[in-house]
């Protein structure tokens, strides 16, 4: 057996190796893999090492096998949080995907996944709008306009022609700068407002993508015919989930790993019987998408490591094709 070197692909090179459109296609492919039952999660699904004071260091590790590629991948994520300084989402935190060949056991690549993770988080959530969006949406509402909000916009501008964007954020100067930049770039009005409620009520497609620790949006703010996308655990009040005409999530088992989701179930606010389906069911048309112009639909995603690994494998194959990355020599003997 010929040993190959391990290809390390740094963050800066991943930016040139993965477009928004490519990320969305890979996410769709993985949803179809889930529907076919060809994805195997690690057990337990997530392993954590949380080191307290005075170190304040945290490791999260997940793994998955994607039979259809085939590839085995492990995601390793490390951050620091002492209550004052938090490196979550920053380039100084460590984010790596390790890819191995399941047929030989050889390590193929280590991908620094800052960009691949960021765009996967939004591409996987925006994709189901192909089946669940209102017809000809005119107003996009953004609650949160950081990296996640910008990446949502990058995905959505490939799918829809909005006439207006309404946005809000914690800091007035941040939303004002966002509005000025994107109104100029897109050639449409971008209106910064103070109120989350105003954003949600006005949106044909609304997106909650913040780092808030409190509940952000209320179900009764979502107008008839609108679709709201919740990108984290607290973006939509759990007391209102059951009032939507359709609720679609990325994966039931992945969500069950979250304490907020379990608390909602334990409180009797929602149940699996009330779930319209997982996104893989919608993508493969095992359940219908939007069926009427006045349906109110909630899409909730927390992210799946299967898509992270598949996207990094795509980046790895493209890096080989273009001779990019740093190839570490194989170990002799």
Cα distance between residue 140 and residue 153, in whole Å: 9
Is residue 200 within 8 A of residue 228, CB to CB? The reply is yes
4-15 pLDDT per residue, tens: 899 999 999 999
Residues of the chain with CATH 3.30.1780.10: 6-118+306-328
**pTM of whole model > 0.85?**
yes
Q: What is the pLDDT of residue 88?
A: 84
Q: What is the pLDDT of residue 233?
A: 76
Non-local (6+) Cβ contacts of 212 within 8 A are 232, 234, 235
CATH architecture under which domain 125-304 falls: 3-Layer(aba) Sandwich (3.40)
Burial group, residue 218, by CB count within 10 angstroms (0-12, 13-18, 19+)? middle
Cα distance between residue 142 and residue 56, in whole Å: 32
How does residue 2 score in pLDDT terms, banded at 50, 70 and 90? low
Residue 331 has pLDDT above 80, yes or no: no
Q: What is the pLDDT of residue 275?
A: 98
How does residue 213 score in pLDDT terms, banded at 50, 70 and 90? confident
The two tokens of residue 150 are: 């910008």
Q: What is the pLDDT of residue 90?
A: 86
Task: Kindly report which listed range (5-19, 251-265, 266-280) carries the lowest average pLDDT score.
Answer: 251-265
Burial group, residue 45, by CB count within 10 angstroms (0-12, 13-18, 19+)? middle
Mean pLDDT of 216-245: 94
Topology annotation, domain 6-118+306-328: ornithine cyclodeaminase, domain 1 (3.30.1780)
User: Percent of the chain scored above 90 by pLDDT?
Assistant: 88
Residues of the chain with CATH 3.40.50.720: 125-304
Residue 268 has pLDDT above 60, yes or no: yes
User: Percent of the chain scored above 70 by pLDDT?
Assistant: 99
Reported as type and span, the H/E element at residue 229 is: strand 227-230
Q: What is the pLDDT of residue 333?
A: 52
């Amino acid at each position: 057996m010929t040993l190959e070197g391990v290809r390390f692909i740094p963050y800066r090179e991943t930016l040139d190796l993965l477009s928004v459109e490519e990320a969305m296609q890979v996410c769709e492919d993985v949803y179809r893999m889930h529907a076919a039952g060809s994805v195997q999660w690690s057990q337990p699904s997530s392993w954590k090492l949380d080191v307290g004071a005075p170190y304040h260091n945290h490791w999260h590790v997940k793994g998955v096998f994607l039979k259809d590629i085939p590839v085995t991948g492990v995601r390793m994520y490390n951050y620091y949080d002492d209550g004052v300084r938090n490196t979550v989402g920053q380039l100084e935190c460590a984010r790596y995907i390790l890819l191995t060949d399941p047929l030989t056991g050889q390590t193929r690549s280590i991908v620094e996944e800052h960009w691949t993770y960021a765009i996967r988080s939004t591409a996987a959530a925006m994709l189901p709008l192909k089946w669940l969006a209102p017809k000809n949406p005119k107003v996009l509402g953004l609650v949160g306009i950081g990296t996640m909000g910008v990446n949502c916009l990058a995905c959505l501008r490939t799918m829809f022609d909005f006439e207006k964007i309404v946005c809000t954020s914690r800091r007035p100067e941040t939303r004002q700068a966002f509005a000025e930049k994107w109104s100029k770039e897109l050639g449409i009005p971008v209106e910064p407002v103070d109120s989350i409620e105003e954003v949600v009520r006005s949106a044909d497609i609304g997106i909650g993508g913040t780092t808030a620790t409190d509940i952000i949006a209320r179900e009764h703010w979502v107008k008839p015919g609108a679709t709201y996308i919740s990108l984290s655990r607290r973006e939509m009040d759990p007391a209102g989930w059951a009032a939507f005409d359709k609720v679609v999530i990325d994966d039931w088992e992945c969500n069950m790993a979250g304490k907020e989701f379990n608390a909602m179930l334990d409180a009797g606010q929602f149940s699996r019987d009330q779930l319209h389906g997982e996104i893989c069911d919608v993508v493969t048309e095992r359940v219908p998408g939007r069926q009427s112009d006045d349906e109110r639909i909630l899409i909730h995603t927390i992210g799946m490591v299967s898509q992270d690994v598949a996207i990094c494998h795509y980046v790895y194959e493209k890096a080989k094709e273009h001779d990019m990355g740093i190839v570490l020599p194989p170990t002799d003997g």
